Amino acid sequence: MKRGIFIVLEGPDRSGKSTQAALLKTWLEGLGHEVMVTREPGGTYLSEKIRRILLDPKSRIEPMTELFLYETSRIKHTLEKIIPALDAGKVIISDRYTLSTTAYQGYGRGLDLKTVETLNRIATLNLKPDVTIVFDIPDKVFAQRERLAQKVSGPDRIEREPSSFRRRVNKAYKVLSRKPGMTRVDGGRPVEEIQADIRACVKNILKTYPAAGKPRRQEGHRGA
């Protein structure tokens, strides 16, 4: 069976995830790979609807309700989009995945990390990314980008959270980026330098796939 590659880009708001995802896609396509860029929350019709609810400043959402909404969006995204694309041998680049829930709902909202971990595992059907690239940006750079950000639609519900919440999330990413299995990237550097590091990392993974055919999730958990 064909096996694709699952790449996840993680990091705080405005850390450069979307910029790097687009560049990575262009490069991989140039190498002849079929690439699918997707995002969380979102990625499917239903998940994008949940995204709208989550980001709507008018939504009043308790932390645990928020966690379940993110995980509902995730399980649909995983079943409907990610797993079929992997089975078709594609390279999937997801702008955010489980680590975002750990950072925002776990560290940011203060929900029990074990609960977050359990729900992450259920919502992914135990699917693990081949690589999770985590952007760590210096606080000064983060503050600069925040000042520069001028969104036509104004800040969303999460961006309206007080700066103490953002500080907790940013700090969490700093810690999480250094955990085993994570590929930390210093996001405060020029775009091209960061992209070169990401390409070097992805190049290594390309060497292993699709030939290895390692089981990437427990059989019997496929669901769809």
Strands 182-186 and 91-95, by their bridges, are unpaired
Q: Is 169 in the site for ligand ATP (CB under 6 A)?
A: no
Sign of CA dihedral 76, 78, 81, 84: negative
Give min distance, CB of 160 to ligand ATP, in A. Answer: 13
Q: Is 19 in the site for Mg ion (CB under 5 A)?
A: no
Backbone angles phi, psi at 143, to 5 degrees: -65, -40
Q: Is 194 in the site for ligand ATP (CB under 6 A)?
A: yes
CB nearer Mg ion, residue 100 or residue 216: 100
Contact map string, positions 121 to 140, toward ligand ATP, x by CB under 6 A = --------------------
What is the DSSP track for 157-188? Answer: TTTTS-HHHHHHHHHHHHHHTTSTTEEEEETT
Single out the residue of 12, 18, 161, 196 in contact with Mg ion (rule: CB under 5 A).
Answer: 18
Binding piece for ligand ATP, criterion CB under 6 A, among 7-15, 73-81, 83-91, 116-124: 7-15
Q: Which amino acid is at 214?
A: K
CB nearer ligand ATP, residue 117 or residue 146: 146
Whether the CB-CB separation of 65 and 98 falls below 8 Å is answered with no
Q: Is 145 in the site for ligand ATP (CB under 6 A)?
A: yes
Single out the residue of 6, 15, 105, 216 in contact with ligand ATP (rule: CB under 6 A).
Answer: 15
Binding piece for ligand ATP, criterion CB under 6 A, among 12-20, 70-78, 83-91, 208-216: 12-20
Question: In whole angstroms, what is the distance from residue 99 CA to residue 182 CA?
Answer: 10
Question: In whole angstroms, what is the distance from residue 177 CA to residue 133 CA?
Answer: 8
Other Cβ atoms within 10 Å of 97 Cβ, number: 26
Say if residue 77 is exposed, middle or buried (CB neighbours under 10 Å; 0-12, 13-18, 19+). buried
Q: Is 13 in the site for ligand ATP (CB under 6 A)?
A: yes
Give min distance, CB of 2 to ligand ATP, in A. Answer: 29
**Where does this chain bind Mg ion (CB under 5 A)?**
18
**Where does this chain bind ligand ATP (CB under 6 A)?**
11, 13-19, 145, 190-191, 194
